[in-house]
Homo-oligomer: A and B are copies of this chain.
């Protein structure tokens, strides 16, 4: 096989990265694969904007069917993003017997089951390394060399925008709104940042990680998701005082036939390797029963790292085609008929240590009332910090709890937050410091 023909749909930043990579490293890939990867067609509604990369005449088209229906094209790269028309295009490509490489976490988190079933029926591969952690080869490692492990935990810093904001808040002591505004000016955050800062993007990625680690379908709607907009500079300072950093973590844990699936700001000890994942970098820490803890770190987004992951998947499929086979493994690494429906543990049932910042008026007996309500709900206090009286007569009282049940915390706060000595809603951040 001299050449494998590829089609690309969606010619944005990452698409341009793919063109650039094939242009620059095409010969290297040929030395590795024993065949040439040839990008035959690129479909996009806009084929006139200059993407800064050279494309041969005739490659660009506004007619997506020139990719999806070209019998010569063996692999379709989907980089449109979003649900539709990406879903329809991917399903049509599969129906036409094409292998799929995609960076579209939203699509797979929501429509993965339908797409994987269609791919099984046609015996084609669906690979999506670029959907989680940019260029970091974490999904291929879970499907691949780590396959012998039963995973117990997956923790991930998966959104560069959030991590950039939290890193700058940590380094500069600045507040969320201020850093967000600056990040938007610098292009590190979207004009509407909801998708990133409210944890939705991270939740999409967590769904994919959980599916691969545990061989299960995950319903995005059941993933408990909190973003970083409620984190204040004062929380970051208290975290530092207690030896923690605050990161937006995707957390997946196996607990028998149930899993925990949650995304929220989390305090992790400063000496954890994940605490050093700063700025736009991503980090993923897995824990397997044989490999133990293993961490991956790298650029979680951007034109070139994402193109690296996309082409890595294309190369994987190309090796199959060169060897004369079509499909080598199912999308989740488990046989399609082996994928389970593990239940997601309700958030109220999880246990964690907690940081709680109470905003109390500085009156006698405050602490007794708070600690009494915590005690009534089986929450025991590990340490407490109260700083000097502020000018407006309120003081932040910070309590770190021992391991407690989420529903007990919620119950206690529903009581405490109605106390007349409490000025405003308390701020809760979960702590993850008990990793093997």
Contacts and interface: CB of A to CB of B under 8 A. Distances in A.
A320 B328 contact: yes
A145 B309 contact: yes
Contacts of A136: 291, 294
10 shortest interchain CB distances as A-B pairs: A145-B312, A294-B298, A148-B311, A135-B291, A137-B145, A290-B308, A291-B308, A31-B338, A137-B141, A295-B297
Contacts of A32: 147, 215, 329, 333-335, 338
26 contacts: A21-B148, A21-B290, A24-B289, A25-B149, A29-B148, A31-B334, A31-B335, A32-B215, A32-B335, A135-B290, A135-B292, A136-B291, A137-B141, A137-B146, A140-B145, A145-B312, A145-B313, A148-B308, A290-B305, A290-B307, A291-B309, A294-B297, A296-B297, A319-B329, A320-B328, A323-B327
Interface in A239-283: 271, 273, 276-277
A14 to B, nearest CB: 11
Contacts of A17: 290
A59 interface: no
Nearest to A136: B294
Interface string A384-397: 00000000000000
A135 B31 contact: no
Interface string A307-326: 11101110110011001110
A205 interface: no
Interface of A: 17, 21, 24-25, 28-29, 31-34, 129, 135-137, 140-141, 144-150, 215, 271, 273, 276-277, 288-299, 302, 304-305, 307-309, 311-313, 315-316, 319-320, 323-325, 327-329, 333-335, 338
Contacts of A316: 144-145
A289 B319 contact: no
A150 B25 contact: yes
B271 A288 contact: no
B304 A298 contact: no
Given A145-B137, A147-B32, A148-B25, A299 B308 contact: no
B295 A296 contact: yes
A269 B242 CA distance: 25
A333 B290 CA distance: 26
Contacts of A141: 137, 140-141
B308 A298 contact: no
Nearest to A295: B297
Contacts of A320: 323, 328
Nearest to A147: B315
Contact of A276 (B21, B31, B148, B271): B271
A96 to B, nearest CB: 22
Contact of A299 (B33, B149, B293, B304): B293
Contacts of A147: 29, 32-33, 311-312, 315
Contacts of A298: 291-295
Given A148-B21, A316-B144, A334-B32, A308 B288 contact: yes
A24 B149 CA distance: 10
Contacts of A294: 135-137, 296-299
A317 to B, nearest CB: 12
